[in-house]
Structure 1
Amino acid sequence: MSQSNNIPLGIGLMVATTFVFAVQDGLSRHLAAEYNVLMVVMIRYWFFAAFVITIARRKAGGIRVAAQTSQPIIQAVRGLLLASEICVMVVAFTILGLVESHAVFTCYPLLVAALSGPVLGERVGWRRWSAIGVGFIGVLIILQPGMSVFDPAAAIPLLAAAMFAIYGLLTRYVARADTTATSFFWTGTVGAVAMTIVGLWFWEPMTPTDWLFMGCLCITGVTGHWLLIKCYEVAEASAVQPFAYLQLVFAAIIGISLFAETVRLNVAIGAAIIVAAGLFTFWRERLQRVAN
């Protein structure tokens, strides 16, 4: 299947993805503070799997067509990797908080953009490399090596960042042969099976109010991952990744307004630099389209 490279659409999808993921993370932070992380992620995946199976059954060919892939091992690895990354990141929320966790996790788009060339064969020009370099400066300002956020606990969201970067690259890779519906089906079903195997051992009763929050978490989970898969299908990973930094901004707003977290000056400055790098990349892409 040939892929398009619609940069404006890809950027729009990435911005929407980051907002939905930030809302999802806020819900996860609340629920993980009250219940076992594995149980929370498991219930979310049950809804996710039910949704993708329902969608598959309504389409021509049903589940058989949706599950059909020439890359079953890579698709399964994607599903397991994403489920594991979600668990690791939610644990980070309970230890570092929403803002600090995202301050460290924000390095994952840099990893994707830098690896999209050697791994996916995409062209990464010097202007994009410049944006990546500026983004790294922003990350260093946020981390402030030797300061409070750069402690052993920072390794948790850093691990999640590496896992999510690999997941993003694999998503782009399988999109060359599989449809969005196929990738979505494998992501939901493999993750649900894996989380059920481990999550049932940690079941806890939930209050009615938290079940409502859980429902919202399930909806945002489905929406966010659909947008992400679609984003990688329509645009080069290296072109849209700078805009994934906006998740830090959205998460900071949620952390401050709902969880009384604070944002240190260096975090605000670093985030501004990272967003500026992404906007510069978009501006250069628009100039190139006009020139061509």
Structure 2
Amino acid sequence: MLASGLSFVGVTGIVRYLGTDLPAAQSAFLRFAFGVVFLLPSLLPLIGRGFAPGAMRLFTLRGVVHTAAVVAWFYAMARIPVAEVTAIGYLNPVLVTLGAALFFGEKLALRRIMAVVVAILGALIVLRPGVREVTDGHMAQVAAAFFFAGSYLFAKRLSQMESAGTVVAMMSLFVTLGLLPFAIWVWVPVSPAQLGWLALVAAFATSGHYCMTRAFTAAPLTVTQPVTFLQLVWATLLGALAFGEAVDPFVLLGGAVIIAAVSYITWREASLKRRAITPAVGETKV
């Protein structure tokens, strides 16, 4: 999880460095196009094999939602501090919890509701509406959090139909296709240096997802989830050292509040699962 966090901070740092020289849709398209190139050896056999009934429709819907999320994220990343993008992004798991209750009928117990309320308070601490200006970059990142949550909900349904590798590969392909017309619409000349940086973004993103998957395999979410808060620490340091962004204690506080709420939900759900599978006293006796 440490390596995953550092990889994703590398992604945000490079996109922040590239700034607004390239339109958000074009930058996002090039990043995902490089990702498809990396995944091409595994994509071709998948397409030839075919998919479960109904999976292609879900792949398409997820591609639309994830495309919107990526454009909003790239737009925000070029306009607001790295730490603020990271802190607001912590809302994703909370929104997924709400979405699972609304669309999948999962029970929304009081503890989940309280954790969601706490996470929203954390987001308000980061944004501080009425105390400072909430820019279009902030609103874009909030929108990105909602769209990413929607994408994860589609991924959850698809994970019951296809393998994890198939879900990731098809997401990259459909997002690239979804971004293509927007990229053509706003296309500007790209320098070799910019292409190189965006290829590195794709490599860091691939590394981040791979390391996260390995972490989830090696340890329970109750162990890995709190470590994600360190990503905010790395992002704050990067913003301060590389881009001269002031360290905002309210962003750190708000991020800590959000991740505390997410960690509580994760810990509580894991505890309930263990309780459900642990046999009662005497059940194992012959």
Q: What is the TM-score of this pair, normalised by structure 1? A: 0.77
Give the secondary structure class of the aligned counterpart of 1:33.
Answer: coil
Tell me which of 29, 48, 52 is aligned to 1:69.
52
Give the 5 Å matches for 1:56-135: 56-57=43-44, 62-65=46-49, 67-70=50-53, 71-135=55-119
Give the secondary structure class of the aligned counterpart of 1:95.
Answer: coil
Aligned to 2:29: 42
- Deviation string 1:211-238 (CA, Å, 9 cap, x unpaired) is 4322211112334456678999999999
CA distance 1:225–1:203, change in 2 (3 Å): farther
Aligned residue identity for 2:21 = E
CA distance 1:105–1:247, change in 2 (3 Å): same
CA distance 1:129–1:18, change in 2 (3 Å): farther
Aligned to 2:40: 53
Contact 1:184–1:229, Cα closer than 8 Å, also in 2: no
Aligned to 1:193: 177
Give the secondary structure class of the aligned counterpart of 2:78.
Answer: helix
CA distance 1:189–1:236, change in 2 (3 Å): farther
Percent sequence identity is: 22
Structure 2: gaps spanning 5 or more residues: 279-286
Structure 1 distance, partners of 2:104, 2:229, is 21
Aligned to 1:3: none
Structure 1 distance, partners of 2:230, 2:91, is 12
Aligned to 1:7: none
Q: What is the total number of aligned residue pairs between the two structures?
A: 274
Q: Which has the larger radius of gyration?
A: 2
Structure 2 distance, partners of 1:106, 1:258, is 22
Structure 1: gaps spanning 5 or more residues: 1-11
Structure 2 distance, partners of 1:180, 1:267, is 33
Aligned to 2:281: none
Q: What is the TM-score of this pair, normalised by structure 2? A: 0.78
Structure 2 distance, partners of 1:120, 1:46, is 32
Aligned to 1:5: none
CA distance 1:151–1:53, change in 2 (3 Å): closer
- Deviation string 1:14-66 (CA, Å, 9 cap, x unpaired) is x7655433321211122243323332222212221122221234xxx55322x
Q: Compute the displacement of 1:149 (Å).
A: 4.6
CA distance 1:231–1:24, change in 2 (3 Å): same
Aligned residue identity for 1:204 = P
Structure 2 distance, partners of 1:175, 1:127, is 26
| Worse-superposed segment, 38-47 or 101-110 | 101-110
Give the secondary structure class of the aligned counterpart of 1:204.
Answer: coil
Give the 5 Å matches for 1:227-242: none
Aligned to 2:203: 219
